[in-house]
């Protein structure tokens, strides 16, 4: 992109916006830092690549930048939905930065050597009333964007934890236990599983974020010759002294597969 100042600036701003969006400590600050990367830079880079050998007005460039950026968001969500972890902030930042960088590179390759940007029209001079209305509209748009992208806490919402158990394929060797966190916070869990009498219990400890699921596979000692009752108890480590938070059980052994 050597020789094209606008493309270098767009790439640098996209990199800075992506890093700040991921590193800033609060959701509101991260969103404010990501606004150029969300609503302007991808569309500007795509428009620059599409019209590299032609010339469009400054006003059309602004409209295309916003419109193509929104289209990138819509299509990007479909792509990110199939990546590991789903739609997350890190994937969004990487995708939008890659779009900006790739489109800027394409524009630099396609542009003629003596390319010159379109001249900006003279800035209007609004009166105090018009300036106040424009500022109020900008603040209203910013507030709408923040409210749309920043999740708000649900103080009265009641969460829950789901738990299930099933024999492994064949029904004779062990079980698979699933735990799903539908609480409103990160939860530390402790899992204990007892494989009948005479066999020491097995356990696991793990954290789950809201909406996260963990599957644990545990194998019994040897092949059971008769049906064996498997009991699993789940505790919350942040509630010391309380009883089991969830309990499940199943049978494994000859003739019990699929129960």
Rounded distance, CA 87 to CA 208, Å? 18
Task: Give residue 3's pLDDT.
Answer: 57
> Which pLDDT tens digit goes with each residue over 126-183?
778 877 887 887 787 777 666 666 666 666 677 889 999 998 876 557 889 999 999 8
Rounded distance, CA 65 to CA 46, Å? 8
**58 phi, psi to nearest 5 deg:** -60, -40
> Which pLDDT tens digit goes with each residue over 5-29?
788 888 899 899 888 888 887 777 8
CB 80 within 8 A of CB 91: yes
**SS in 3 state form for 79-100?**
HHCCCCCCCCHHHHHHHHHHHH
| Beta-strand pair 161-167/228-236 | unpaired
CB 33 within 8 A of CB 108: no
CB 242 within 8 A of CB 252: no
Paired tokens of 72:
């990138």
Paired tokens of 32:
């404010």
CA atoms within 13 A on the CB side of 139: 6
Range in 47-56, 115-124, 186-195, 241-250 with the lowest mean pLDDT: 115-124
Per-residue DSSP letter, 72:
H
Residues 6+ apart with CB under 8 A from 12: none
Rounded distance, CA 104 to CA 47, Å? 9
Assess whether pLDDT exceeds 70 at residue 1: no
Rounded distance, CA 214 to CA 186, Å? 13
- Rounded to an integer, the average pLDDT of 234-243 is 87
- Name the residue with tokens 């919402």: 157
Task: Give residue 72's pLDDT.
Answer: 86
Instruction: Kindly indicate the confidence band of residue 207, based on its pLDDT and cuts at 50, 70 and 90.
Output: very high
- Rounded to an integer, the average pLDDT of 82-102 is 79
């Amino acid at each position: 992109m050597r020789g094209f100042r606008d493309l270098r600036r767009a790439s640098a701003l996209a990199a800075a916006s992506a890093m700040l969006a991921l590193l800033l400590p609060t959701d509101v600050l991260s969103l404010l830092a990501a606004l150029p990367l969300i609503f302007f830079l991808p569309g500007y880079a795509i428009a620059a690549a599409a019209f590299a050998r032609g010339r469009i007005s400054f006003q059309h460039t602004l409209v295309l930048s916003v419109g193509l950026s929104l289209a990138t968001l819509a299509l990007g969500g479909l792509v990110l939905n199939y990546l590991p972890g789903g739609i997350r902030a890190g994937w969004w930042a990487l995708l939008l930065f890659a779009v900006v960088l790739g489109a800027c590179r394409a524009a630099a390759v396609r542009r003629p050597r003596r390319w010159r940007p379109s001249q900006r029209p003279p800035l209007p001079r609004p009166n105090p009333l018009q300036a106040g209305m424009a500022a109020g509209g900008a603040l209203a748009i910013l507030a709408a964007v923040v409210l749309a992208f920043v999740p708000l806490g649900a103080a009265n919402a009641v969460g829950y934890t789901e738990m299930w158990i099933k024999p492994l394929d064949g029904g004779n060797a062990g079980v698979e236990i699933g735990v799903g966190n539908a609480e409103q916070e990160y939860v530390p869990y402790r899992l204990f599983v007892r494989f009948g009498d005479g066999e020491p219990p097995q356990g696991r400890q793990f954290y789950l974020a809201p909406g996260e699921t963990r599957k644990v596979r545990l194998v019994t000692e040897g092949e059971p010759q008769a049906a064996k009752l498997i009991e699993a108890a789940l505790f919350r480590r942040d509630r010391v002294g309380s009883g089991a938070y969830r309990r499940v059980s199943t049978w494994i052994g000859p003739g019990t597969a699929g129960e």
